[in-house]
Amino acid sequence: MEQYSMNLTLKVWRQKNANEQGRFDTYQVKDISSEMSFLEMIDVLNEEMIREGKDPIAFDHDCREGICGMCSMYIDGRPHGPWQNNTVCQLHMRAYKDGDTIVIEPWRANAFPVIKDLMVDRSSFDRIIQAGGYISVNTGSPVDANAIPVNKDMADASFAAAACIGCGACVSACKNSSAMLFLSAKVTHLALLPQGDPERRSRALKMVAQMDKEGFGACTNTGACEAVCPKGISIENIARLNREYLAAGLVAE
C-alpha cells in the first residue's frame, strides 16, 4: 500500500488521577504517516506537547509488538481500535484517512481505576492470578519428552488459552465489566494439562472468589469479550470455567 500522510482530530480522555473528574480534550495532529503505529502517532503529539510545556498524555505501553497487553485504549467504541485480533501498538495509521476524528478513552470498569489519562490500574488481574492461577509445587527441570503423556488436542486448547496477555479488553468490552474471559483462559490453560490437574478444583473456586471480591460483574454470555480479544481467546473457555467451578463447588466441603 502506498504511504500517505494525514491530519487528524483526536478527542482524548484527560484525567489527573483516580479522584479527579476527567474530561475530553481535543487535539489536532498533522502530517501523520500511514506507516506509523497508533502509539507512535500519540508519541508525536506528546513530543509536541512537551515542547510547548504542556502535560503529555499518559498511556501504558511496553513491548510495542502486541504481546505485553499494556496498551489499554478504547478507540471509537472498541477496545484496541477497529482491527480484529489486534492490540493498539499493532494498530497502524493506515486504518485511518485524512480528516478523521478519533475518540480515545481508557478502559472503564470500577475494578480498573484510572491512574492518569489513558492509564488504568489492572492489578486486580494480578490478584486473581495470585489467588490460584499457578501450580503450587516446583515442577522441576524439563523432563524427557513423552515422560508425561499429554493429549495433543488438550495441549493445543491449553496453549490457545495461554495466549491470553491479560490486557483487560474483555472487561472493557463487557456490558457487565466481567473478567470471565480472562479468568476462564487462565483456568483452562492449567486445567487441561497434567501438571495443573491436581489443583484444578480449588483453583476455579479461589479465582472466582477473588474476581467477585475485585468488583467485576457476572457473565451473561453476550460474546463481546471474544469479539475484541487481541489473542482470539474463545468464549468456550467461559463454559469450561462454569463447569470447573460447578464441579468443584458441588463437592467442596
Partner 1 sequence: MKWSELFTSSVGKKVIMALTGIFLILFLIVHVGLNATIWAMDGGEMFNKGAHFMGSNIVPRILEIGLFAGIILHIVQGLMLEFQNRSKRKQGYAVAMGNKGSKWYSRSMGVLGTLILLFLVVHIADFWLPNRSNQGFLLGEEINLYDKMQEVFKQEWVVALYLLGCFSLAWHLLHGFQSAFRTFGVSNKKYLALINCVGIGFSIIVPLAFAMMPVSFYFGWV
- Cβ proximity to partner 1, 194 vs 249, nearer residue: 249
Distance in angstroms (rounded) separating the CA atoms of residues 71 and 194: 33
Q: Considering the complex, what minimum distance in angstroms separates the CB of residue 160 from partner 1?
A: 13
Cβ proximity to partner 1: between 60 and 226 the closer is 226
Nearer CB in complex with partner 1: 78/127? 78
Residues that bind partner 1 (CB under 8 A): 11, 13, 22, 24, 74, 76-78, 103, 105, 108-111, 173, 175-178, 180, 205, 208-209, 211-212, 215-228, 235-250, 252-253
Give whichever of 48 and 248 is closer to partner 1, judged by the CB atom.
Answer: 248
**Residue 238 neighbours by CB under 8 Å, 6+ apart:** 180, 181, 184, 219, 221
Q: What's the rounded Cα separation, in Å, for the pair 79 and 69?
A: 12
The minimum distance between CB 52 and partner 1, in angstroms, equals 26
Beta strands per DSSP E along the chain: 5-14, 23-33, 74-75, 78-79, 101-105, 114-116, 119-120
Nearer to partner 1, 64 or 201 (CB): 201
Whole-angstrom CA distances from 9 to 43, 94, 118, 175, 183 are: 15, 15, 17, 28, 37
Shortest distance in whole angstroms from residue 54 CB to partner 1: 22
> At closest approach, how far in Å is the CB of 57 from partner 1?
16
- Least separation in angstroms between residue 137's CB and partner 1 is 23
Could you give the C-alpha distances from 148 to 106, 144, 151, 155, in angstroms and in order? 44, 8, 10, 12
Nearest to 107 by CA among 123, 90, 89, 119: 119
> Smallest distance, Å, CB 79 to partner 1?
8
29 or 209: CB nearest partner 1: 209
Cell 458441588 -> residue: 250
Q: Residue type at 237? A: N
